[in-house]
Structure 1
Amino acid sequence: MTFRTLSHLAGAMALAIALPTAATAQDTADTGKSAAPAKLDPQVRTRDLTGTFGGQRIGYTATMAETVLTDDEGKPEAVIVTTSYVKNPRDTSRPVFFIYNGGPGSGSVWLQMGAFGPKRVAIPSDATDDGAPPYPILDNPDSLLDVADLVFIDPPGTGFSYLTENTDPEDYYGLEQDARAVATVIRRWINDNNRWNSPKYLGGESYGTTRTAMVVRELEGATYNDVGLNGLILISTILDFAAREPTPGNEMAYVMALPNMATAAYYHGKAQAPSVEAIAEQARRFAIGPYATALMEGQDLPAAERASVRAELSRLTGLSETFLDNAELRVTDQRFYKELLRDRGLTIGRLDSRYTGRDYDNAGEYPDNDPSFYGIDAGYTAAINAWSRGTLGFETDREYQAIGSDPGRSWDWSLSGRGRGAYLNVAPFIGQAMRQNSQLRTFVGQGYYDFATPFFGAEYSLKRIGIPQERVEFHYYDAGHMMYIRDEDRTKLSADIRAFIRNR
């Protein structure tokens, strides 16, 4: 499918659909000519603001704009909202960082209002519930505006972006379809803002790292219109999906999750070690050594070896040997969330295992909900709506989709016809881009307490053959999936990425 975009109309102040009049429709019927496609008038809102970022006082222009994607006949199919922050005066030699979140179906609110935007929502940093409004919206000195202009992208079905009536979701909701749409928006923004020769960075969080691998294939693999990139920024990485699926017989899922179980047990006092870094390394060595070997031996595993592995697994995870024996040494993450602190009547979080919650009762096998999600979502949703509709003046009757359900329900996981049932691993696209672009570097940021995208899985994906290791750098944080929730780690993440951009 080919996308063509309608350019942003300068000064446009509201979204409007221009429909043919009755007379036009009659004329069309009389002449036998086909009706012209309906057109959308993209909304653009700008504000000139100031803030202090990275210790520098900076004036910048904030712009919320709609980009309309059309089919080959010019019919509008999707409206994609970008929120850009560009330093004044404009300088085309400055880097540009294109940013999105994950899901699929997640709006850019998390990275925009939590980590890199000029404002952030203040929620508790110590893994406790965000409570009720009002939620403070504060200046964000950790924003990256001192080193790069920022462009936040909400793909269709996320944020305020949407598919138009009668658009087939299959044309946009999928690995390759989504990447083509996002790449089109990036090219349009570069063109409209005369940034073709600016240093460029691309990145996101969670599924946003998957999207990055797909989009870099679109941008650097399109020989007719290549967009060269300086860096990929992967936060809470998921590239190899097969290694994360605990389908019976897939032993790698248990190997990948074990280091996260060890760090969670350490945080909650169920395992002992000098530091989180120490127990993470102990668990890595055990996971790819005795543990992986034991799992692969299956029913041929000798009793003495089973007992040895069971004992070390119990020490690292804080689970009883009886429980581990009953689970055949294979503990799913869902069972772990419920079992680790059962003696305290608590469950732990999936996105951030520092968080704890209380279920309806303590007898179940799995937790009722994820306390690390319901502990933060209200604050972020309130903040993005207040900022977009209030300060930036964006006008819409659409609800902001922080976690849109439509994309996830309809997502096409096929990759070149192979399907998600095949071995879905998009890391090779990053390797190919790095091999073909000798200056392309990759930043990887992982939280020690993130079960959604385990840090060991990121390492496994990006340390395999075909990926130039001298241009990949790993950074670790003492929090979970959204490590920037923790104040100290937001500052560290910002400093790490700032250094990555400056070191080009």
Structure 2
Amino acid sequence: MIIRTLAAIFLLSYSGACAVAQEEDKSQEAVAAKDGSEPRRYETKARVTAGGANVAYRVIAGETFIENDKGEPVASIFSTSYIADGFADPRERPVAFIFNGGPGSASLWLHMGVFGPKRVRLPEGPDDDGAAPFDLIANPESIIDVADMVFIDPVGTGWSKTLGEGKTDEYWGVKQDAASVREFIRRWLVEHKRWNSPKYLIGESYGTTRSAALLEALESGWTDIAVNGVVLISTVLNFGLDATDAGNDVGYIGLMPGYAATAWYHDKVDKAAWGGDMQRFLDEARAFATDDYMPALLKGQLASAAEREAVAAKLAAFTGLSESYVTRSNMRIPLRRFMRELLRDEGLAVGRLDSRFTGVEADGVGENPEYDPSAYGIDAAYTAGMLDYFGRDLGVDIAEPYTTLGGVRGWNWDAEDGGGQNAYVNVAPWVERAMRQNRDLRVLSANGYYDLATPFFGTEMTLAQPGFDRSRLTITYYDAGHMMYIHQPSLEALAKDVRSFIRNEP
């Protein structure tokens, strides 16, 4: 291995609006083999005030090689680890393994959005993030005060990739992805001698699916890596509960209360009819979805004209769509149509990831939106912020393209052991089984009301099934969307909830 040591002094300044200062240590070490024969590794020391505590920590950003049964490197997984000083006994220091979703997304969203010691500050919104310069500020909501953190970029994301004879189809799939991330976690525990630390998985979106698959991969068999807790952010375990494909009527049930929340936010419903109480409104939307809407869809043409008219009228009242539109749609409104139709008269479409966001539509009669306004409203800030932080703060010297999202193709969705042989992945049984076989495993599911990508009611129906031990299950809600942490009050609430979960506070 070729070793190179770099010493640098970083003078960091933050916006005057940030009351918390982060002090970077003066030393930085980078270890890398130029020819790629050895994993690249960059180390830094820093300090931040988070959760009311001033925490000194070291950062290790670098590659971990995954080997085949011949001991040959076949994949490289890039990660960023934050390890606090002052904990000699691993039993006293939890470690959280953190990743985003996609599949095909790097971990920059959770890293620079909520949990890392430095984060991107977006404009007050919901609003478009515009162009550089963007604000990177010290993050008092980071959970570094209660746990070490390891941000993982699975193969095909960030700078993670296959090597040598490695093939992407060995990593791009529900089980394949979980197997490689499991191997990364095993190697991390070996390197850092943390086998006896409390362990947590924190995933967002498809990252919650990955968490379920990881529970199966980590806890099955005799080489058991038992997990203390799983944080599911924007949960999707049963994909059939939000898929509005032809013939899958239950997908409309999972989405409908999310449509209602969106209509409430955009003032497209009669709020006075519910006394201006959003929670009452959503409770009645939930009840309507299961007690009236679902039977009407299942009956189809067997329902009487009067039944269909009554349900269509209620559906229109809850979703803000016209009764005529609902009726002509056979009471089945796919997500992209809803995104376009709700604010059509204003020339706007609402977001999928976060339906508080709106985007201008050039075509006033289009069936579907041009794109998701809540995606193009944040992507530039996170990409620039992550790469600026890697290069300037952590001294990561990598010139290859960094894949934020979208580098993965041909994903293998086969997960029949987790939910039966059907067209929709359902990994919820893996979480249920892990809870049955690990008495200490707790689950926190965090959901945004305005998330139409992984709608909160689909999650509620999934977690209501009899296999879950609800005494060890916590469900929380936020007045934001899929990435609820882009909303400052929700960011603070989410960080508080996760911190309490790791501390196992009631």
Structure 1 residue aligned with 2:243: 245
Q: Secondary structure in 1 aligned to 2:143?
A: coil
Matches for 1:343-492 after TM superposition, within 5 Å: 343-405=345-407, 407=408, 409-416=409-416, 422-492=423-493
Structure 1 residue aligned with 2:42: 45
Which ranges of structure 1 fall in alignment gaps of 5 or more residues?
Answer: 1-5, 19-39
Which residue type is aligned with residue 380 of structure 1?
Answer: Y
Structure 1 residue 307: deviation in Å? 1.1
Structure 2 residue aligned with 1:204: 203
CA distance in 2, matches of 1:242, 1:163: 31
Structure 1 residue 160: deviation in Å? 1.3
Structure 1 residue 260: deviation in Å? 0.5
Q: 1:252 to 1:103 in 2, by over 3 A?
A: same
Which residue type is aligned with residue 306 of structure 1?
Answer: R
Q: Secondary structure in 1 aligned to 2:119?
A: strand
* Aligned residues of 1:12 and 1:42 also touching (Cα < 8 A): no
Can you list the C-alpha shifts for 1:33-70, whole angstroms capped at 9, x where unaligned?
A: xxxxxxx3011111110110001111111110210012
Q: Secondary structure in 1 aligned to 2:299?
A: helix
Structure 1 residue 279: deviation in Å? 2.1
CA distance in 1, matches of 2:311, 2:103: 37
Q: Secondary structure in 2 aligned to 1:145?
A: helix
CA distance in 1, matches of 2:219, 2:193: 18
Structure 2 residue aligned with 1:62: 59
Which residue type is aligned with residue 41 of structure 2?
Answer: V
451-460 vs 267-276, greater mean Cα deviation: 267-276
* Aligned residues of 2:73 and 2:164 also touching (Cα < 8 A): no
Structure 1 residue aligned with 2:324: 322
Q: Secondary structure in 1 aligned to 2:436?
A: helix
Structure 2 residue aligned with 1:26: none
* Aligned residues of 2:30 and 2:43 also touching (Cα < 8 A): no
Structure 2 residue aligned with 1:279: 281
Can you list the C-alpha shifts for 1:299-318, whole angstroms capped at 9, x where unaligned?
A: 11101111111111111000
Structure 2 residue aligned with 1:13: 31
Q: Secondary structure in 2 aligned to 1:85?
A: strand
* Aligned residues of 1:183 and 1:219 also touching (Cα < 8 A): yes
Matches for 1:166-185 after TM superposition, within 5 Å: 166-185=165-184
* Aligned residues of 1:64 and 1:392 also touching (Cα < 8 A): yes
Structure 1 residue 399: deviation in Å? 1.4
Which residue type is aligned with residue 376 of structure 2?
Answer: Y
- TM-score under structure 1 length normalisation: 0.91
Structure 1 residue 457: deviation in Å? 0.9
Q: Secondary structure in 2 aligned to 1:167?
A: coil
Can you list the C-alpha shifts for 1:127-181, whole angstroms capped at 9, x where unaligned?
A: 1011110101000000001111111000001111111254221111100000000
Structure 1 residue 9: deviation in Å? 12
Which residue type is aligned with residue 167 of structure 1?
Answer: G
Can you list the C-alpha shifts for 1:196-231, whole angstroms capped at 9, x where unaligned?
A: 1111111200000000000011111131x1111110
Structure 1 residue aligned with 2:110: 111
Which residue type is aligned with residue 216 of structure 1?
Answer: L
* Aligned residues of 2:101 and 2:208 also touching (Cα < 8 A): yes
- TM-score under structure 2 length normalisation: 0.91
Which residue type is aligned with residue 95 of structure 1?
Answer: P
Structure 1 residue aligned with 2:154: 155
Structure 1 residue 372: deviation in Å? 0.2
User: How many percent of aligned residue pairs carry the same amino acid?
Assistant: 45
CA distance in 2, matches of 1:325, 1:9: 69
Can you list the C-alpha shifts for 1:93-134, whole angstroms capped at 9, x where unaligned?
A: 211111000000000000000010000001124210111101
Structure 1 residue aligned with 2:18: none
CA distance in 2, matches of 1:15, 1:448: 47
CA distance in 2, matches of 1:138, 1:242: 39
RMSD of the alignment, in Å?
Answer: 1.8
Structure 1 residue 281: deviation in Å? 1.2
Structure 2 residue aligned with 1:500: 501
**For 1:254, which of 252, 255, 262 is the aligned residue?**
252
Structure 1 residue aligned with 2:133: 134
Matches for 1:181-196 after TM superposition, within 5 Å: 181-196=180-195
Structure 1 residue 290: deviation in Å? 0.5
Which residue type is aligned with residue 356 of structure 2?
Answer: R
Q: 1:477 to 1:303 in 2, by over 3 A?
A: same
CA distance in 2, matches of 1:378, 1:15: 31
CA distance in 1, matches of 2:45, 2:277: 46
Q: 1:137 to 1:176 in 2, by over 3 A?
A: same
Structure 2 residue aligned with 1:82: 79
* Aligned residues of 2:30 and 2:395 also touching (Cα < 8 A): no
Q: 1:423 to 1:342 in 2, by over 3 A?
A: closer
Q: Secondary structure in 1 aligned to 2:145?
A: coil
Structure 1 residue 423: deviation in Å? 4.0
Q: Secondary structure in 1 aligned to 2:149?
A: strand
Which residue type is aligned with residue 218 of structure 1?
Answer: A
CA distance in 1, matches of 2:349, 2:424: 32
CA distance in 1, matches of 2:210, 2:108: 17
Q: 1:377 to 1:12 in 2, by over 3 A?
A: closer
CA distance in 1, matches of 2:74, 2:421: 26
Which residue type is aligned with residue 175 of structure 1?
Answer: V
CA distance in 2, matches of 1:97, 1:117: 12
* Aligned residues of 1:262 and 1:317 also touching (Cα < 8 A): yes
CA distance in 2, matches of 1:316, 1:453: 19
117-126 vs 426-435, greater mean Cα deviation: 117-126
* Aligned residues of 1:246 and 1:253 also touching (Cα < 8 A): yes
* Aligned residues of 1:169 and 1:410 also touching (Cα < 8 A): no
Structure 1 residue aligned with 2:10: none
Work out the number of aligned pairs and report it.
Answer: 474
